[in-house]
């Protein structure tokens, strides 16, 4: 077992060793679970993990954070409705984790056939527009349904999008996940120091990038989300101001019987100030309003576990 953390640290050596040992053990459990799942047909394994996720998720202490978030977002909903959304959230999140083991197998979109598969895609003209566009562009999405399938669908349709993603905290899992994602999903930029510069370099060369925009950002700009004040990450708006490029919303929607709809929506109108520059606050607000619309439509498919209001 190799030690991945070799940089100087403020923690004592015994603590670092214990932490890395814990990471290694949990990573082996995770890899073993993925290998075990792949022994079974995809649908049966994913359905089983969903049932387990709903059962244990509703008993997970952090579910209380999601419950509070839902009551803030939907004060008009009763307790039974809130609990159903929570259960659906855990079902969707569990399916996302299980589907990760079968991404190459379950993605069956083929635009050369009329056969109905697991995936349907709307907004194909927008995909084509993005694919053949000469110059930079930005796509944004949220933690809805299985957001991991979006880079796969883009790559399958020949749209080369570099996605910004947050690696798992476990370094052993992060290394394996990054290698697998690079195989199936094209280019990736880990969300860490210097990520914004890397994205800027890609846009400067006329590339396309993808961003998740729905989490709280303590250094962000003031916005409202579900009518409540919070802070939004202004990275997308800053990149648009720098490169004056189009912005496309894209999302994944879960459908019955393990199916998906990938929606590539039309590019949005960019708000500008009186000098004609991109209005960073207004654009950050606008993309969050689009996300809010998605969440209101399918509340059980969004990740309610992060603290959106603080």
CA–CA distance, 240 with 270 (Å, rounded to integer): 9
CB 145 within 8 A of CB 253: yes
Predicted local distance difference test score (pLDDT) of residue 3: 46
Task: Tell me if 257 sits within 8 A of 207, measured CB to CB.
Answer: no
Q: Which residue has the tokens 């349709």?
A: 157
pLDDT in tens, 29-45: 878 877 887 888 889 99
Q: CA-to-CA distance for 234 and 217, rounded, in angstroms? A: 9
Residue pointed to by tokens 């244990």: 56
Q: Please tell me which residue, 218 or 3, carries the higher pLDDT value.
A: 218
pTM of the model: 0.86
How does pLDDT run across 123-161, given as a tens digit for each residue?
A: 989 988 998 999 999 999 999 999 988 887 787 777 888
- The residues, any chain, with a CB within 8 Å of residue 180's CB and separated by 6 or more, are none
**3-state secondary structure labels for all residues of 47-59:** HHHHHHHHHHHCC
Can you tell me the distance from the alpha carbon of 247 to that of 270, in angstroms, rounded to the nearest whole number?
8
Among residues 202, 267, 269, 214, the alpha carbon closest in space to that of 239 is found at: 202
Q: Which of 30-34, 192-196, 234-238 has the highest mean pLDDT?
A: 234-238
**Nearest of 209, 252, 265 to residue 93 by alpha carbon:** 252
Each residue's pLDDT tens digit, 240-284: 999 999 999 999 999 999 999 999 999 999 999 999 999 999 999
pLDDT in tens, 8-18: 557 788 877 88
Q: Given pLDDT bands bounded at 50, 70 and 90, which one contains residue 86?
A: very high
Query: How confident is the model over 88-106, as pLDDT tens digits?
Result: 999 999 999 888 878 777 7
Token output for 118? 């697991």
Helix H or strand E segment including 73: helix 63-73
Q: How would residue 2 be classed by pLDDT, with cut points 50, 70 and 90?
A: very low
Percentage of residues of the chain with pLDDT beyond 90: 56
């Amino acid at each position: 077992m190799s030690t991945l953390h070799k940089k100087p640290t403020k923690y004592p050596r015994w603590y670092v060793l214990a932490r890395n040992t814990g990471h290694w053990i949990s990573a082996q459990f995770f890899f073993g679970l993925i290998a075990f799942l792949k022994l079974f047909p995809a649908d049966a394994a994913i359905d089983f993990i969903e049932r387990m996720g709903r059962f244990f998720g509703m008993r997970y202490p952090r579910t209380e954070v999601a419950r509070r978030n839902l009551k803030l977002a939907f004060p008009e909903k009763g307790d039974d409705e809130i609990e159903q959304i929570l259960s659906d959230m855990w079902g969707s999140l569990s399916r996302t984790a299980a589907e990760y083991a079968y991404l190459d197998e379950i993605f069956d979109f083929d635009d050369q056939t009329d056969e109905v598969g697991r995936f349907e895609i709307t907004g194909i003209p927008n995909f084509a527009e993005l694919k053949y566009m000469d110059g930079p562009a930005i796509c944004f999405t949220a933690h809805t349904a299985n957001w991991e399938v979006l880079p796969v669908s883009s790559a399958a349709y020949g749209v080369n999008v570099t996605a910004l993603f947050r690696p798992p905290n476990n370094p052993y899992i992060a290394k394996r996940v990054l290698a697998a994602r690079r195989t199936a999903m094209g280019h990736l930029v880990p969300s860490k120091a210097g990520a914004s510069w890397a994205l800027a370099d890609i846009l400067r060369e006329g590339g396309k990038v993808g961003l998740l925009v729905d989490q709280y950002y303590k250094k962000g700009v003031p916005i409202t989300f579900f009518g409540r004040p919070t802070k939004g990450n202004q990275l997308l708006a800053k990149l648009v101001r720098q490169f004056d490029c189009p912005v496309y919303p894209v999302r994944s929607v879960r459908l019955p019987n393990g199916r998906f709809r990938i929606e590539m929506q039309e590019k949005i109108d960019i708000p500008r100030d009186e000098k004609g520059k991109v209005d960073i606050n207004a654009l950050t607000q606008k993309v969050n309003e689009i996300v809010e619309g998605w969440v209101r439509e399918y509340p059980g498919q969004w990740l309610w576990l992060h603290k959106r209001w603080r």
